[in-house]
């Protein structure tokens, strides 16, 4: 399948590493101009923007902060003249027993994983509505369906991403296509941190695929959803998960 995103302007949050990095590279390879969002990873983001080419640039912002989100979108639209594709990818994971969770723990994870998507969608949609077109892709997780012990804020936030995606898809169709991706366990720095805490990957590899996914495998789903080949997809959650969840 030949996907051509030439002339499309994209912003990918949390793009300095992992799935976000792969998505930024995938969109750029298809011809899009990409804004790489990061937080405290200036060198990695600059290197990624250089690899993306096509006039790509890196913008630092905490996407859970409304002021910083507004400034980022102002800078992106000023540089690109508008925005056609938004990929809400930024996210964090915390492994902790529920009874040990603090309110700050909850707020940090939910704000980063879910509130950030509200803020970024709110910033992107007025421009997309005005131009009469746009694509938003929200990165969820198969754990947003399944749940998992020790991951309560993460799973709750990702479940919220799924329903946020479907609600917005209904509200802004047909001119704006809003979909999501719920990856299974994927080899990223976040998974590597989880391994360091839990000491193994038993749950992550106990799937029909018997292995972790690779960021490029998730990115291919995002590039597809961003393209005209996915023109009949509204509120869909693609699930590249190695068979961890079959629906």
Note the pTM of the prediction, 2 decimals.
0.95
**pLDDT score for 188:** 83
**pLDDT score for 203:** 64
Residue 113: burial class (beta carbons within 10 Å; 0-12, 13-18, 19+): buried
Domains and CATH numbers, the chain: 9-238 (3.40.50.720)
Contact between residue 49 and residue 36 where contact means Cβ atoms under 8 Å apart: yes
At 65, which helix (H) or strand (E)? none
**pLDDT score for 201:** 65
- Please say whether the dihedral angle defined by the alpha carbons of residues 218, 187, 190 and 11, taken in this order, is positive or negative: negative
Q: Could you give the residue ranges of the DSSP H alpha helices within 36-151?
A: 42-52, 66-80, 103-110, 116-131, 143-146
Distance of alpha carbon 181 from alpha carbon 176, whole angstroms: 17
Rg (CA), the chain: 17
- Active site members: 154
Residue positions counted in the chain: 247
Distance of alpha carbon 111 from alpha carbon 107, whole angstroms: 6
In this structure, the strands spanning 33-38 and 134-139 are unpaired
Beta partners for residue 177, in sequence order: 135
**pLDDT score for 207:** 83
Q: Which residues, 6+ apart, have CB-to-CB distance to 241 below 8 Å?
A: 142, 182, 183, 184, 185, 207, 213
Please confirm whether the linkage preceding 174 is cis (ω < 30° from 0): yes
Distance of alpha carbon 144 from alpha carbon 113, whole angstroms: 11
Residues of the chain with pLDDT under 50: none
């Amino acid at each position: 399948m030949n996907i051509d995103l030439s002339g499309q302007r994209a912003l990918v949050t949390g793009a300095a590493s992992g799935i976000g990095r792969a998505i930024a590279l995938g969109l750029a390879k298809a011809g899009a101009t990409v804004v790489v969002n990061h937080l405290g990873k200036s060198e990695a983001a600059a290197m990624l923007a250089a690899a993306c080419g096509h006039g790509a640039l890196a913008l630092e912002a905490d996407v859970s902060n409304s002021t910083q989100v507004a400034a980022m979108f102002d800078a992106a639209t000023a540089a690109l003249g508008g925005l056609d594709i938004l990929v809400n990818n930024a996210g964090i994971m915390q492994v902790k027993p529920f009874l040990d969770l603090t309110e700050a723990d909850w707020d940090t994870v939910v704000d980063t994983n879910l509130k950030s998507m509200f803020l970024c969608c709110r910033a992107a949609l007025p421009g997309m509505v005005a131009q009469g077109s746009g694509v938003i892709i929200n990165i969820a997780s198969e754990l947003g369906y399944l749940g998992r012990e020790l991951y309560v804020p993460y799973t709750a936030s990702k479940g919220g991403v799924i329903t946020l995606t479907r609600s917005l898809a209904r509200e802004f169709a047909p001119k704006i296509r809003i979909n999501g991706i719920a990856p299974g366990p994927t080899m990223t720095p976040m998974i590597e941190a989880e391994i360091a805490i839990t000491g193994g990957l038993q749950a992550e590899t106990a799937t029909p695929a018997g292995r972790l996914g690779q960021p490029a495998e998730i990115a291919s789903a995002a590039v597809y959803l961003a393209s005209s080949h996915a023109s009949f997809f509204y509120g869909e959650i693609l699930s590249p998960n190695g068979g961890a969840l079959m629906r």
